[in-house]
Amino acid sequence: MSNNRVSRRQFLSYTLTGVGGFMAAGMLMPMVRFALDPVLQKHAGGDFVLTEQKIADITEEPIKVDFTFEQVDAWYKSDVTNAAWVYKSGDEIIALSPVCKHLGCTVNWAGDTAHPDQFFCPCHAGRYEKNGKNIAGTPPLGPLDEFEVQEKDGYLMIGPSRANTLV
Amino acid sequence: MYFNANDVTSFMAQKEFIDTAIIPLVAIDLTNEKMKQSGAEADFLLSLTAFIEQQFKGRLLVMPPFSYSTTLKDEAMPAQLAAQLHNAGFKHVFFITCDHFWTNSGDEVNVIWLPAIPLESMDKGVKNSILEDQLRQVIPVFSTKWAQI
């Protein structure tokens, strides 16, 4: 017992290390939080929206699926209805954005009778292949955007859009 | 496109593509019997133009609605407005309205008249399908005009 006695010097150095450690942690913690915060942040608008489309009913032929989410614009809240062109490619479900990459019109599947297997933009006759690839010689300069998809209880969920990964 | 700073900037940059202006003509009737009907018409017309804008965003500019009360109605207004829009670089100018008054305004202005459908009691799905039906009525008017050049 006696050889384990804490000397005054030891006691002071332990206490100072402890207090100093707390102070250092108190300064470092907020910095680490700030650095990590962007990673922990939940992405607004990145949520998946449940649609009324059954996964089983999706075929190789693109169909239009509507989905609605709430948009807050300053003090004005509104329900926005958006749509996606959804089809099955092998086992994978593809959801393409209907917004033309030229000037933002809404494209239609088989909208042009001369090209029944393509997306067609009625504004300036822009055309896209089934995977969203823009056809050279028509006004659009990029492929259609793609939505992330998920399945929930047999129904389709549509998530955030991203650049086309199929082309 | 709407008549706001951002969209007008893209219009200025892309004049050869955005060649159509569309102007809603909204009648405001303040008599006791007609006021509600007038409100329903305005609601329908603005919902429909918003839907048209969504479909044809890259080709047309939707102007703010021109509203008039019964005494302020001016027969010469659409023709004058159309002339000014043509000067501003629009090849096609369409007026869209629920007011019968404009249906006989002659051939020099394009007036699209539609019967107002009261939307207030409908739920959203029905409303959307009604608007889609109405849009299908309007599309041929645009495409024939667009095909004429």
Q: Tell me, what's the ipTM?
A: 0.74
Task: Name the band, by pLDDT with cuts 50, 70 and 90, for residue A11.
Answer: very high
> Which of A139, A145, A63, A142 shows the shortest CA–CA distance to A99?
A145
| A116 touches A102 (CB < 8 A) | no
Give me the pLDDT at residue A71, please: 80
User: pTM surpassing 0.90?
Assistant: no
Contact assignment for A81 to B139 by CB distance below 8 Å: no
Given B54, B58, B143, which is nearest A102 (Cβ)?
B58
Give me the pLDDT at residue A44, please: 53
Task: Tell me the CATH class for B5-142.
Answer: alpha beta
Instruction: Give the contacts of A109 (CB within 8 A, at least 6 positions apart).
Output: A61, A62, A63, A64, A85, A119, A120
- Taking chain B (149 residues) in runs of 10, the rounded mean pLDDT of each run is 90 87 92 91 92 89 92 88 91 91 80 88 85 88 81
Contact assignment for B17 to A104 by CB distance below 8 Å: no
Q: Which residue of B has its CA nearest to A126?
A: B58
Task: Name the band, by pLDDT with cuts 50, 70 and 90, for residue A2.
Answer: low
Mean per-residue pLDDT for A110-139? 86
Check if A68 contacts B (Cβ < 8 Å).
Answer: yes
Place of tokens 């799905």: B125
Give me the pLDDT at residue B45, please: 92
Give me the pLDDT at residue A19, please: 96
Contact assignment for A105 to B57 by CB distance below 8 Å: yes
Contact assignment for B56 to A79 by CB distance below 8 Å: no
Q: Indicate whether A45 pLDDT > 80.
A: no
